[in-house]
Amino acid sequence: MNISKARELLKNNISPNLFTHSMGVEETALRLAAAYGVDGEKVSFSGLMHDYGKIFSNDILHRIAMENALVDDLTLQEPALLHAPVGAWLLKRDLGIDDGEILEAVRMHTTGVAGMSLLARIVYLADYIEPGRTCPGVKDIREIAFSDLDRALLGAVNLTIKYVLEREKIVHPNSISFRNSLILSLRKNNQELQGYEAY
């Protein structure tokens, strides 16, 4: 599916606010891709379609996840996480998308996970820093996003975990593994972590 058709599909099936968010993620992901040398076409599609699962209700997402054994028990307990893995599965089923990197980027954009591809990391970060986001700390992360990807990702995952903890929701183990992998990577490269581990 080409990007213009994907854009039209989204526009006709999601709310205007969610469409604006998706366009913002696509635009931000493309800028990050230019900074880090990633294929623009894949990034554009992944960023635009990362919330494809939100076309469907939580009840439908839950049923699809159960019927096809798509997620673990923790994910089933947190409806906000379902749209990512189920959305990736639906992209493959409904639109014939079989590119593993694109599917990973969509599947992991809510929790992250250690070992993600550069494309998936870019989509994760773009979802956090796109222009419509106004959460505390996002401005600081935007300032380093185009020069230090791992530090920006660590800031994003730390703030996400903080948000989840404050609301007494489940922190998915994938988010913990992602955070730890970023810290280890930064330590290996002898980068300063002060201020990012404290979020």
Q: Residue 168 is part of a domain; what is its CATH number?
A: 1.10.3210.10
CA 148 to chain centre: 18
How deeply is 158 buried, as exposed, middle or buried, from its count of CB atoms within 10 A (0-12, 13-18, 19+)?
Answer: buried
In the three-class reduction of DSSP (H, G, I as helix; E, B as strand; rest coil), residue 168 is classed as: coil
Judge whether 97 lies within some domain. Answer: yes
- Quick: pLDDT tens for 116-175: 999 999 999 999 999 999 998 999 999 999 999 999 999 999 999 999 999 999 999 999
Judge whether 90 lies within some domain. Answer: yes
As a whole number of angstroms, the distance between CA 146 and CA 149 comes to 7
pTM of the model: 0.93
Judge whether 104 lies within some domain. Answer: yes
In terms of Cα–Cα distance, which of 87, 123, 78 is closest to 13?
A: 87
- Quick: pLDDT tens for 13-54: 999 999 999 999 999 999 999 999 998 999 999 999 999 999
- Quick: pLDDT tens for 79-128: 999 999 999 999 999 999 999 999 999 999 999 999 999 999 999 999 99
Q: Are 123 and 90 in contact (CB under 8 A)?
A: no
Judge whether 197 lies within some domain. Answer: no
Judge whether 195 lies within some domain. Answer: no
**CB neighbours of residue 35 within 10 Å:** 13
Structural domain total, the chain:
1
Judge whether 198 lies within some domain. Answer: no
As a whole number of angstroms, the distance between CA 38 and CA 130 comes to 18
As a whole number of angstroms, the distance between CA 43 and CA 110 comes to 16
Domain carrying residue 38 = 3-188
pLDDT exceeds cutoff 50 at 198 = no
Judge whether 193 lies within some domain. Answer: no
